[in-house]
Chain A
Amino acid sequence: MKRGTVGAIQRARARFRISDFGFRISVAVGRAPAAGLVCLAALLSCCAEGFASEPPEQAELIRTDSRSPFVHRIGLYDEGGGAINPADKNAPPYSPRATCGKCHEVGTIGHGWHFNAGVTGSTQGAAAASGSAQESEPPSVRTGTGRPGEPWIYTDAATGTQIPLSFRGWPGTYRPEQIGLTAWEFAKSFGRHLPGGGVVFPSEVADPPGVSRWPLAGGLDIDCMLCHSDDNRHDPAERAKQIERENFRWIPTVSLGLAVVRGDTSKLPDDFDASLGPNPDFPEQQPPRLEYDKSRFDADHRVLLGITKRPSADRCYFCHSVREVGEGAPQPWHTDDDVHLRAGMTCTDCHRNGIDHMIRRGYEGEPTRSGDAAAGTLTCRGCHLGETAAGAALLADATARPGRLGAPTPLHAGLPSYHLEELSCTACHSGPAPGMAAKRFQTSLAHALGIPTRTRHELDDPAIVGPVFLKGADGRLAPHRVLRPAMWGARTAEGIAPLAVAKVARMLRKPLADAGRTPGSNGPLTPDQITAGLKAIAPSMTAGEQALYLADEQAYSLAADGSLVAVKDERAKLYAWPIAHDVRPAAASLGAGGCVDCHADDAPLYAGRTVDASAGGTGEAAGTTMLDARGVDAALARSWNRSMHWRGAFKVAACIGLGVVAWFALAKGLTACANWMGRS
């Protein structure tokens, strides 16, 4: 009999499950019914305090209500709500949900922007695409999508695949299940930079052993200290290491340095059941075990946690780092931070949130989408210009006036005011200055920055380039980072769908390797490799299906004679997301050098390429300039650019002419006055 089946039979226990917005707790009380009942009562009490629905949470929680930060010298609790004794050899890992839930509304927090992907995203796509908020939904749900941002990118350089993924329904992205990624695989691939909760803390965690690996590993729950650690004792890189080992349940404890974990869940079989005790046939199969650092605890088993409400930028940078790489990339010490950081601010001064943890992203239009008018005061324009999208009602509020947080009001001398309507603030002030070729970037989410490794190289896929000036969702020109999606798919009567990436990898690694796609290769596939790949996939296509490779805004397929055919296809178009940081000072902004910073035929804003230097080719290559990418009226742009040649001369001539006219008009006026006075 299989071990899992035996385990299921032997578990003659009651399972109590308390659900609250996806939160599941199960308590095994089979071996000691009386103890189980006590445990249940304690658990129900605990849930009433910490895990119940939102209104009771506020009523029952312990609070200080002071602006002075509470010193978190607190006891730790496991996921069942039991207090942790570090001296106990089998002490369980602490659960942030149970521990923090004593005083904080973890149910509400679980809907926060960083945690709600996959929970609300599925219902938000349409609303986001249309830009309309669903009035019937609370703000915390309505903002499940927002402005398209950086996606997760599934990358497999061996098969020339880079696919933007998102649970939020952003146009141009795919949901992970569309490419055959399960929540488990998603957590394993991207959990390193996911703060937990939502889709990576599924209800399957409470399933019996053998159904999936979730019960073994535990869910990747929200780790509060990932952001709120004040003293950098929380180690996100350690967290990523434990995700590889599938020790999800033990992560918060180990990352915080409260204990070290012995054992890897990844080495346990799928049907492993810890409740059965050691397997004599496989004694090495042991669940992970913690060794607590007792020096961190006081005599009452309390631990002092360095917690801040205002995390430093260094904590945010673990997931939100971007670095320029490739030819011409500046040395880090040549670059400056965002001017706001230099001024002593931190990310959360603008990207604020309430207890719902709906971080204000600070883009134009967010107040409308989020239903929170005050969000408009935290945008660039809100702080610096006092412009809010909230309407006149907010104007009586001092926070809606320019100068919030001491923000200087920009002069913008000589800048025709319609530029502020046509351009986002970031167009001139954010990101690296544009060049004639796009720059290559690596990001935390895409290239696992922050995770120590010897195998990260500058030109590793996915290829993210920028700044590319495109119109944003609000119609204003803004700098973007762009990704050129590349994927294998099938054309059916219903349209084009990407193939499951695992299947693609299985089928294509060898044919592509034979066609010269050696391990470690990066960049786009060659036509020969695409042909080889399509030929390898074709036999798996059913009747009515045609194998495709989508890349470089084209759909490649094989003609009847076996030759490669490329057709322009919308599904392979650029995926772009706006660049908001680093904000440059006014002196280093676009336009500080005059109109011709932008208004010139050879200015990067028009002639700059949307591909980086590694892509080769020339600037004249069709479809690779920012002007082409924007799809604007090229003749109009050129006309404006050329008018700038005459602008100086025109201003001088016009001033002289007007001076003469004004002098004459004045003389005439004075003469007329004199005549009138003489007559009277």
Chain B
Amino acid sequence: MRPAVWDGFTFNEEFLSRLFQSIAAIALIATPLVLLGHFLWARSSRRGATCAGGNGRWTAGLLLLGVGACGAAALTPVLSGREVRGWWLLAHVSASPVLILGLLGHALRRAGHAPAAKAGACSEQAVGDRGEPVVDPSGESVVGGRRDGRVGCVCGGGCTLTLGVLTAASSLLSMGTVFGQETMALLLQVHRYCGVLLCVAAMIHGYGAFVRGTRWVGRPARD
């Protein structure tokens, strides 16, 4: 009998494909809800911080555009119970250069902050270097010790890049004549699942870059 998912040698492609539809739906619904919850919690607790700023928003925007376009082209037919074929597939492939440019821009931007890298991208030094507030009016740090800020930054940085590389590489490898159908089928599953996770990471990253950094979210308490 074929394995339920993967027994180390073979995997059940059909099962993984069916599972993917559910996982994609859950991820696309749950992530915005979690972020919305965080947004409301942050607003009520007057907390605010940002990992991105300045030209970081441009690169984040480009990345989000690429992920959004690729994700929309791929997940729309999947979530409506169809195969990614025809115009949807063409749109998905056509949007992929934008995603790669976004990943490249994001990587180069982070590479441009080498000191921050040493001390952590979300350190007070790094945030201060970017000209962003590091303390609230009460004098409490809004950056360094924040666990939520670290999680957002890790997602925005490392996960997005790693998942982006995996997603794009699994697709590129399939375009060569190196691997046969078995491996290509596995790469397709890697592409699908990493793609969905990339969408989640990108949403978190986008939230960090555009929403949490806005003044009315991070507005400090008056007294």
Contacts and interface: CB of A to CB of B under 8 A. Distances in A.
- A-B interaction: yes
B177 A413 contact: yes
A643 B104 contact: no
B96 interface: yes
Given A411-B181, A672-B158, A675-B118, A636 B164 contact: no
Contacts of B94: 643
Interface string B152-176: 0000011001101100110010111
Contact of B168 (A415, A654, A675): A654
A509 to B, nearest CB: 51
A410 B182 CA distance: 10
Contacts of A668: 110, 117, 157-158, 161
A392 interface: yes
Interface stretch (B67-75, B81-89, B136-144): B81-89
Interface string A625-650: 00000000100100110010001001
B111 interface: yes
Most buried by A among B106, B107, B185: B107
Given A395-B1, A655-B172, A661 B164 contact: yes
Contacts of B87: 633, 636
Contact of B181 (A396, A410, A636, A671): A410
Interface in A411-441: 411-418, 420-422
Contacts, number: 104
Q: Which of A411, A633, A664, A669 has the most CB of B within 10 A?
A: A664
A662 B169 contact: yes
A658 B100 contact: yes
Helix, strand, loop or mixed for chain B's interface? helix
A660 B90 contact: no
Contact of B1 (A396, A420, A636, A651): A396
Interface residues of A, number: 38
A664 B160 CA distance: 12
A664 B106 CA distance: 10
A665 interface: yes
B162 A675 contact: no
Contacts of B83: 418, 421
A662 B165 contact: yes
A676 B94 CA distance: 40
Nearest to B101: A657
Contacts of A650: 97
Contact of A660 (B104, B117, B118, B158): B104
A658 B172 contact: yes
A324 to B, nearest CB: 31
Contacts of A661: 100, 103-104, 106-107, 161, 164-165
A640 B107 contact: no
Interface majority SS on A: helix, strand, loop or mixed? helix
B157 to A, nearest CB: 7
Contacts of B106: 661
Contacts of B162: 665, 669
Interface string A195-208: 00000000000000
Given A410-B181, A665-B165, A657 B158 contact: no
Interface string B163-205: 0110011001011111111001100100000000000000000
B2 to A, nearest CB: 6
A657 B1 CA distance: 42
B161 A414 contact: no
B120 interface: yes
B65 interface: no
A417 B177 contact: no
B10 to A, nearest CB: 11
Listed residue (A412, A633, A640, A654) with the most chain B CB atoms within 10 angstroms of its CB: A654
B175 A414 contact: yes
Contacts of A633: 86-87
B93 interface: yes
Contact of A395 (B2, B103, B118, B158): B2
A448 to B, nearest CB: 43
Nearest to B184: A417
Given A413-B179, A671-B118, A675-B118, A664 B111 contact: yes
Contact of B177 (A414, A636, A643): A414
Interface string A572-596: 0000000000000000000000000
Interface in A239-266: none
A665 B177 contact: no
A413 B178 contact: yes
B177 A664 contact: no
10 contacts: A392-B2, A411-B180, A413-B179, A657-B104, A661-B106, A661-B164, A664-B107, A665-B161, A671-B117, A672-B158
Interface of B: 1-2, 83, 85-87, 90, 93-94, 96-97, 100-101, 103-104, 106-108, 110-111, 117-118, 120, 157-158, 161-162, 164-165, 168-169, 172, 174-181, 184-185, 188
Given A412-B180, A664-B161, A665-B107, 15 more contacts: A410-B180, A411-B181, A413-B178, A414-B178, A415-B181, A421-B83, A422-B85, A639-B90, A651-B175, A654-B97, A654-B100, A660-B104, A661-B164, A664-B110, A668-B157
Q: State the 5 A-B residue pairs at the shortest beta-carbon distance, nearest first.
A: A414-B177, A411-B180, A664-B107, A665-B161, A661-B107
